[in-house]
Chains A and B, each alone.
Chain A
């Protein structure tokens, strides 16, 4: 437990000592705040007269927050490789893996420490979107519960993809390869959702189910569906498990 905390703190320290954390934060701030919010505001201005004509208040949750957080999920998908690519690859390349593996620390503690560190950076990236949304709460009256649920979904999805990224990073000593492969996986998942959404053949349904991002939908509607929670948790567990196998094979092969 103590070791997990130590390694997690070291990971966070490394993120913020290198340009990675700032690059990820800045990219997200630009994409979400600049493009996402701006386009939503533009749409809002366009649609406001319609709502006024209908004489009912506009639902901020449905018309602003949900599309924005869906957009955040998509951006996050492509920022994740930047967070995970160095997790293990860098330690293997620089030889510090030898320090970790010859210290009285369990493999599991190393993996959990690294994964939690990455997750915390991811959460702090998401926190920047909360900054944008807080203005809505300041001036409007959106329902806060679905917003929290959507964030929960974002964190669960992020945790799952980070675990997959960590696994990919543990396979190579080259950060670029790790980042590229993780990006490729994320891209496939993103495309799978698009291609399989409207088809009902069995293969497509299975692919649609496995494409991790589809399980976000219930969360973004403000529903905590236990089957999606379990899906994310078990996928995360599975990815972390194969990471530990991969670390063990490191010893046998190296």
Chain B
């Protein structure tokens, strides 16, 4: 549905996006992840025909963004970082205008407006001036504008910024409901966002593509070594923390043991394995053989946060910073 090849965008002296290629299948929700200034917005602007690329091609819904911008624009809904609202208009009036210039006929416009007002929960403010709306409602009005013409591809630049947790969940649910017949790209720098709503992640940093994979695969790929939390019960008679730590360190395959804050009558340790070693059975056996009560043994998954930091840190170590910015 979306195919980007060798996309590069250069501003006067800076490279905002550097040779990015990726593909997105129909019906997928893809998270576009990166620190501020990584080039997310620039890439999205190229996909929406707002900016022409310096080099490379982008194909959206079967049309090239340079050769057939009008056809591409008919098929995309775009919510920029700050929702493009006319403060002097009422919500319905604004959505009517947005829908009409996106090609909805005057016959259908009413039902489409009612439809998106329902979907985005704008019913309460439908006759209010946009200037008087709260941040959350503005964001939703912006989203309503993006989906009003039922586009094949939705491109959302930080759709949940400025919303409260309840609204964020509502937006997530809305996106999931849209997903089957819409292809969605959303950018964010909030990682839990991606974990919750996206099937695939595209990570970019400094204008370069760092990783593109499913959330689960990324987690696996990076977790070369295993991390396990071990909790051992303590009684009046012991064991002493040092004792336990020593014993855990002696288990084959363990590379490091870190004592954590003990809980109420429990000692907590975090154990890391050597690369590719499976240490959980040995750990359990070792604790039990010492005659202690093992109360918990739990693998620690690498959170997306850690993956992200690892990836982007590795990237900027490899390459000295050449590109800056993206939102200009």
- A3–B101 Cα gap in the complex (Å)? 6
B100 near A14: Cβ-Cβ < 8 Å: no
Chain B interface main SS type: loop
- A6–B103 Cα gap in the complex (Å)? 11
Instruction: Give the interface size class of chain B.
Output: 20 to 34
| Nearest chain B CB to A143 CB, angstrom units | 43
A102 near B86: Cβ-Cβ < 8 Å: no
| Nearest chain A CB to B144 CB, angstrom units | 12
Query: Which residues from 49 to 90 on chain B have a C-beta closer than 8 Å to any C-beta of chain A?
Result: 49-52, 70-71, 73-74, 76, 78, 80, 82-89
A10 near B97: Cβ-Cβ < 8 Å: yes
A7 at the interface (CB under 8 A from B): yes
B139 at the interface (CB under 8 A from A): no
Collect the chain B residues with CB atoms within 8 Å of residue A6's CB: 97, 100-101
B13 at the interface (CB under 8 A from A): no
Minimal Cβ-Cβ distance residue in A for B103: A104
A14 near B86: Cβ-Cβ < 8 Å: yes
A100 at the interface (CB under 8 A from B): yes
Query: Which residues from 227 to 254 on chain A have a C-beta closer than 8 Å to any C-beta of chain B?
Result: 251-252, 254
A203 at the interface (CB under 8 A from B): no
B48 at the interface (CB under 8 A from A): yes
A102 near B101: Cβ-Cβ < 8 Å: no
Minimal Cβ-Cβ distance residue in A for B80: A98
B145 at the interface (CB under 8 A from A): yes
B98 at the interface (CB under 8 A from A): yes
| Nearest chain A CB to B52 CB, angstrom units | 6
User: Contacting A254 at CB < 8 Å: which of B93, B103, B328?
Assistant: B328
- A2–B89 Cα gap in the complex (Å)? 20
Minimal Cβ-Cβ distance residue in A for B97: A10
A132 at the interface (CB under 8 A from B): no
A95 near B88: Cβ-Cβ < 8 Å: no
A54 at the interface (CB under 8 A from B): no
- A79–B13 Cα gap in the complex (Å)? 41
12 A-B residue pairs with Cβ-Cβ distance under 8 Å, sorted by A, are A2-B100, A14-B86, A14-B88, A94-B85, A97-B84, A100-B101, A102-B76, A102-B78, A103-B73, A104-B70, A104-B71, A252-B52
For the complex with contacts A102-B48, A104-B102, 9 further pairs of A-B residues with Cβ separation under 8 Å are: A2-B100, A18-B88, A95-B82, A95-B83, A96-B85, A103-B98, A104-B73, A252-B51, A254-B328
